[in-house]
């Protein structure tokens, strides 16, 4: 998908004519005008962002960004390599050691984050449109994302002055206390499913704590984070505090994870890649947080409000076209309510509008890439071959764009791959259970442990089950219901550490103990 062709204005330079390429490299724009399908226009930055400036990549390479809804090229952006990572890390390290950010009044850091949130809020329609253009998600989903970004940056701004240590009473002979200090340069690697939201989840707590960052965007969705950087300097962040190197995981991600000047790695993505990054980071004993995959159970008891529960299941599995790590992809329904619930769920799923993501009435937009669409349809075939019953969906929509119908499988066995493996798309399995103990065992029978849902009007059962589930987040009578003050992260193969809440700030600071002997 990602070409190495380099653009010179509107013209492409061929790979064979080196002299012509060199002329074009110097002319490759650091921004391009974009006309959005909803009539909005804006200027899209395409360079790397280092020291508060958009700059070309050192090796003058670019890659194309595809619109998942049309399969057409949006633009090319500069592709970072190892030398670009070195430059960005050096800029971040200098900004940290010179104290222009790490040692200023915490309130000043908070004010810069508040201003950044204000700029995003003023430009919210453009940001939402970029997410929809670049990622393929429905514009209604993108607007939710942008508001979550604004809320979280403001939450981080308010926390900037609250990195307090404590006074420790160790007797009259010594004065003992702790202080929380920033780590230094933080390398951050974000996924393609929530480009702007994950950008905020990463930079917000890191900057509030006084760190500097070098962030790698996902190669398929780099546009919104680059656009956000046009406001970094205006918001009051000194040069080098926020840096973005667009590029590929095997190059930029690898370089960040082993770089000796990077003190912390934060990664959101697949479990397999997270394990690799964790191993790399061990070579320099970096602090690491990993928000990884999931195969989350969504449990329905017979006493639940079924109409509300169906909508919660829909939000759990089809929100963001199912490209959600916490997606409720395993639905367990109490036996006496199974037939009724499945009937309502199938009808509701088939009424959802799939298509043009810029249409305000669309619920589910496109999958983000051809690879993801192929993976989803491949799992549909696997489910059929394994003997599951396809109750609804399971097919591509249209012949252009990466669209797929919401898909429901019944008559599944727990050993089936569609039950065990993360599909990362709008595909759900539905299973009966008889007892509370049985459903807890079924829910916990997974290598993952990111999230879970419980639907019941019996609060006692809700608490009993939530206490026994091996999941970092349990939603009761709701699903995919995030709040900036509530930590999010997983157990087991779903990761290490937490995003959001006070716990995220703890991951971006270290404790220093001071003990002075009194005379």
Judgement on whether residues 284 and 366 belong to the same structural domain of the protein: no
- Token digits of residue 165: 């240590």
* Pair (475, 334) in one structural domain: yes
Instruction: Specify if 508 maps to a domain.
Output: no
Q: Percentage of residues in the chain with pLDDT exceeding 90?
A: 94
Rounded Cα–Cα distance for residues 372 and 353 (Å): 20
- In terms of pLDDT, which residue wins out, 341 or 27? 341
- CATH of residue 173's domain is 3.40.605.10
Q: Is the pLDDT of residue 123 over 50?
A: yes
pLDDT in tens, 395-443: 999 999 999 999 999 999 999 999 999 999 999 999 999 999 999 999 9
Note the pLDDT of residue 27.
56
The whole-number average pLDDT for the span 38-50 is: 98
Domain C-terminal end among 237, 257, 292: 292
Q: Residue 14: what pLDDT?
A: 30
Q: Could you say which of 239, 261, 292 is where a domain stops? A: 292
**Distance, CA of 30 to CA of 45 (rounded, Å):** 6
Give the global pTM.
0.93
Average pLDDT over residues 205-209: 98
Within the chain, what is the greatest distance between any pair of CA atoms? 81
What is the residue range of 138's domain?
83-292
DSSP of 25-63: HHH--SEEEEE-TTS-EEEEE-SEEETTEEE--TT--EE
- Return the residue matching tokens 């592709």: 79
Do residue 447 and residue 357 come from a single domain? Answer: yes
pLDDT tens figures, 366-398: 999 999 999 999 999 999 999 999 999 999 999
pLDDT, residue 161, reads: 85
Same domain, 326 and 275: no
Looking at 191-237, list the stretches that DSSP marks H as alpha helix, in order from N- to C-terminal side.
195-208, 223-228, 232-235
Q: Residue 94: is it exposed, middle or buried by C-beta count within 10 angstroms (0-12/13-18/19+)?
A: middle
Q: Torsions phi, psi of 229, nearest 5?
A: -70, -15
pLDDT digits (tens, 9 = 90+) for 320-370: 999 999 999 999 999 999 999 999 999 999 999 999 999 999 999 999 999
Q: Do both 243 and 370 map to the same domain?
A: no
Half-sphere exposure of residue 421: CA atoms within 13 angstroms, side-chain side: 12
Predicted local confidence at residue 231, as pLDDT: 98
pLDDT of 248: 97
Dump pLDDT digits (tens) for 80-103: 999 999 999 999 999 999 999 999
Q: How far is CA 147 from the centre of its chain?
A: 15
What pLDDT, on the 0 to 100 scale, is given for residue 208? 98
The dihedral region occupied by 9, where left means phi > 0, alpha psi between -120 and 50, and beta the remainder, is left
The pLDDT of residue 357 is 98
Mean predicted confidence (pLDDT) in 139-167 = 96
377 in the same domain as 327: yes
Dihedral (Cα; 87, 91, 96, 99), 10-degree rounding: 160
Looking at the domain assignment, is residue 378 inside a domain? yes
In a domain, 231, yes or no: yes
Domain count, the chain: 2
Q: List 34's β-bridge partners, or say none.
A: 42
Read off the pLDDT of each residue in 221-225 and give the average, rounded to a whole number. Answer: 98
Looking at residue 8, what is its pLDDT?
Answer: 31
The CA-atom distances, in angstroms, between 217 and each of 40, 123, 167, 252, 471 are 24, 20, 40, 10, 27
In a domain, 438, yes or no: yes
Q: What is the pLDDT, as a whole number, of residue 4?
A: 30
User: Please, what is the average pLDDT of the chain?
Assistant: 94
344 and 309 in a common domain: yes
Decide if pLDDT at 52 tops 70. Answer: yes
pLDDT on residue 180: 95
Residue 447 lies in a domain: yes
Q: Do 447 and 433 reside in the same domain of the chain?
A: yes
Mean pLDDT of 232-256: 98
Task: List, by residue number, the catalytic residues.
Answer: 291
Residue 258 and residue 235 in one domain: yes
pLDDT single digits (tens) 461-490: 999 999 999 999 999 999 999 999 999 999
Domain membership flag for residue 512: no
Task: Indicate whether 327 and 237 sit together in one domain.
Answer: no
CATH code for position 336: 3.40.309.10
Find residue 182's DSSP bridge partners: 509
Q: What is the mean pLDDT of residues 157-170?
A: 94
* 274 in the same domain as 303: no
Cβ-contact 101, 94 below 8 angstroms = no
- Mean pLDDT over residues 55-81, rounded? 97
Please check whether residue 76 lies inside any domain of the structure. no
Task: Return the percentage of the chain with pLDDT > 70, whole number.
Answer: 95
Give the residue from 246, 272, 292 where a domain finishes: 292
Co-location of 302 and 276 in the same domain:
no
Asked if the structure places residue 59 within a domain, the reply is: no
**pLDDT at residue 28 in the model:** 81
């Amino acid at each position: 998908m990602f070409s190495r062709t380099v653009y010179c204005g509107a013209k492409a330079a061929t790979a064979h004519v080196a002299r012509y390429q060199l002329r074009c490299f110097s002319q490759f724009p650091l921004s391009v005008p974009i006309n959005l399908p909803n009539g909005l226009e804006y200027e899209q930055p395409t360079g790397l962002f280092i020291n508060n400036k958009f700059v070309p990549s050192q090796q003058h390479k670019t890659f194309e960004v595809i619109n998942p809804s049309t399969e057409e090229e949006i633009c090319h952006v500069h592709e970072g390599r190892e030398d670009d990572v070195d430059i960005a890390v050096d800029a971040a390290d200098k900004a940290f050691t010179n104290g222009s950010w790490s040692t200023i009044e915490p309130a000043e850091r908070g004010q810069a984050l508040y201003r950044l949130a204000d700029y995003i809020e003023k430009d919210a329609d453009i940001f939402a449109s970029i997410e929809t253009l670049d990622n393929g998600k429905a514009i209604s989903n993108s607007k939710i994302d942008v508001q979550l970004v604004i809320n979280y940056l403001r939450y981080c701004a308010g926390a900037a002055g609250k990195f307090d240590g404590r006074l420790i009473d160790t007797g009259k002979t010594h004065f003992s206390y702790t202080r929380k200090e920033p780590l230094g340069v933080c390398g951050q690697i974000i996924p393609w499913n929530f480009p702007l939201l994950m950008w905020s989840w990463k930079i917000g707590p890191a900057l509030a704590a006084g760190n500097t960052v070098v962030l790698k965007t996902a190669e398929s969705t780099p546009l919104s984070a680059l656009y956000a950087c046009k406001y970094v300097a205006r918001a009051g962040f000194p040069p080098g505090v926020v840096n973005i190197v667009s590029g590929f995981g095997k190059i930029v991600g690898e370089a960040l994870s082993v770089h000796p000047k990077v003190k912390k790695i934060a990664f959101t993505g697949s479990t397999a890649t997270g394990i690799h990054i964790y191993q790399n980071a061990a070579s320099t004993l970096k602090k690491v947080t990993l928000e990884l995959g999931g195969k989350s159970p969504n449990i329905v008891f017979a006493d639940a409000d079924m109409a509300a529960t169906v909508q919660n299941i829909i939000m759990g599995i089809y929100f963001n076209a199912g490209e959600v790590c916490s997606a409720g992809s395993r639905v367990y329904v109490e036996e006496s309510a199974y037939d009724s619930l499945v009937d309502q769920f199938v009808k509701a799923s088939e009424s959802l509008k799939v298509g043009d993501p810029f249409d305000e009435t669309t619920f589910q937009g496109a999958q983000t890439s051809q690879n993801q669409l192929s993976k989803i349809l491949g799992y549909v075939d696997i489910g059929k071959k394994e003997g599951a019953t396809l109750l609804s969906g399971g097919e591509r929509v249209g012949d252009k764009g990466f669209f797929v119908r919401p898909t429901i499988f019944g008559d599944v066995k727990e050993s089936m791959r569609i039950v065990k493996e993360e599909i990362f798309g709008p595909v759900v399995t539905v299973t009966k259970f008889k007892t509370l103990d049985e459903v807890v065992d079924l829910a916990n029978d997974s290598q993952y442990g990111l999230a879970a849902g419980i639907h019941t009007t019996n609060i006692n059962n809700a608490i009993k089950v939530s206490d026994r589930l091996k999941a970092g987040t349990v939603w009761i009578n709701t699903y995919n219901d995030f709040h900036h003050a509530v930590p999010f992260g997983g157990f087991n193969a779903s990761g290490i550490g937490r995003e959001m809440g006070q716990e995220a700030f703890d991951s971006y600071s270290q404790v220093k103990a001071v003990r002075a002997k009194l005379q």
